[in-house]
Amino acid sequence: MPEPEDLLDQLLGKRVLILTGKGGVGKSTNSAALALIAANRGQRVLVIEVDAKGNVPDFFDTRRVGFAYRRLHKGVWGLSMQPKDSMQEYLSLMLRVPGFSLRPLQGFMEYTSNAIPGLKEILVTGKIYYEEKAVGEGRPRWDLIVVDGAPTGHVVSQLGAARHLAELVRTGPIHDQALRVADMLSDTRRTALVLVTIAEEMPVNETIDLARRLTDDTDIVPAALVVNQLQPEVVAPDEMDEFKKLVTRDGRKGFLARYPEGEPLLDAADMMLRTRSQAEHLRTVLRRTLKLPTLTVPFVFQRNHGFAFTRTLARALEEGG
């Protein structure tokens, strides 16, 4: 398994990174941090938010974006998927539907997309494909595309949709385009799916479940795992045993004799140690079941999730935990 540093290099060497995970585990913050790292290394990065209400721009202290990409930071641009705009672009740019029939056709297709499974989803993955292919000034417009992807519950149907659609619609431009998108998504040289989790029970179970469903229902193999929000190391590893003694009954007595007001410090240490040991256990489970190269990210004790937070997180990711 590669060292964290190599793993990060490997990931940033792809064309497309897609992040997924249970809600609340830090998909968006990690998308922002990865984009920032790549940009700091001189890449031109596009962040695509699959959710129209995505908040990645918040992590660059800038206002929300729409379907047209906009600069978020030096080297980082962003856009968010908007159903109407993306249908129009899909029809006109990707399927090359002539302008005069666009408007009535769009209405029809929006309606049809409720019934043809995969059609809505392919607007998202189709857009990723389109931007991956986009050229500006004689070279690819983006060095790297980071996708703040769908949560675990929806990502399988979203990523699998292109392949399914190609089977359901057996000829014609939609079929051809769906195939190309599906091929890009399953091409491990170009695309890496990154599973993000925290070391808590439900997100871990969901991540394992997700990996199983990806294997069963798609030809996409996850490339890496990010374990976010781990308890940071408060002491050097060789001092850990001594630290643990502090919160035992005798250790407490000694500390409280010196600092009678110090009980909350001991309780907070106890909370941290118990959280750690839960996390250790879950990380073992993850390691054994998923066998994925892993980046670990320490918990960032910061109040606000603005650019300062993103910068701290990026640094933590680069250090690999």
Q: Is 70 helix (H, G, I), strand (E, B) or coil?
A: strand
| Identified binder of other proteins from the candidate list 182, 269, 290, 297, rule CB under 8 A | 269
User: Please, what is the minimum distance in Å from the beta carbon of residue 192 to other proteins?
Assistant: 23
SS3 content of the chain, % helix, strand, coil (to 5): 55, 15, 25
Q: Residue 93, interface with other proteins (CB under 8 A)?
A: no
> Per DSSP, which regions of the chain are E strands?
16-21, 45-49, 70-73, 76-80, 135-136, 139-140, 144-151, 191-198, 222-230, 294-298
Q: What span, in angstroms and rounded, lies between the C-alpha atoms of 61 and 46?
A: 16
- The smaller minimum CB distance to other proteins, of residues 269 and 316, is found at 269
According to CB under 8 A, which residues from 289 to 308 bind other proteins? 301-303, 305
163 to 132, 168, 219, 226: CA distances (angstroms): 18, 9, 9, 26
Nearer to other proteins, 10 or 157 (CB): 157
- Helix or strand or coil: residue 46? strand
Q: What angle do CA 78, 81, 87 make, to 5 degrees?
A: 135
Indicate whether 85 belongs to the interface with other proteins (CB under 8 A).
no
Q: Could you say which residues in the range 123-162 bind other proteins, by CB under 8 A?
A: 151, 153-154, 157, 160-161
Could you tell me the smallest distance in angstroms from the CB atom of residue 24 to other proteins?
Answer: 4
Instruction: For other proteins, give the closer residue by CB, 5 or 242.
Output: 242
Near other proteins in 27-56, by CB under 8 A: 51, 53
Cα gap 272→258, rounded to integer Å: 22
Q: Should residue 66 be labelled a site residue for other proteins when binding is judged by CB under 8 A?
A: no
Residues 6+ apart with CB under 8 A from 86: 67, 123, 124, 126, 127
* Joined tokens for residue 203: 């997100």
Binding-site size, other proteins (CB under 8 A): 72
Task: Give yes or no for residue 278 binding other proteins (CB under 8 A).
Answer: yes
Q: How far is the CB of 225 from other proteins (least distance, A)?
A: 18
d(CA 188, CA 210) in angstroms, rounded, equals 18
Report the site for other proteins in 158-217 (rule: CB under 8 A). Answer: 160-161, 164, 167-175, 201-203, 205-206, 209
- Stretches 12-20, 137-145, 265-273, 287-295: which one binds other proteins (CB under 8 A)? 265-273
104 binds other proteins (CB under 8 A): yes
Residue 117 binds to other proteins (criterion: CB under 8 A): yes
Choose one: 108-116, 135-143, 188-196, 283-291; the region binding other proteins (CB under 8 A): 108-116
Minimum CB–partner distance for residue 158 and other proteins (Å): 9
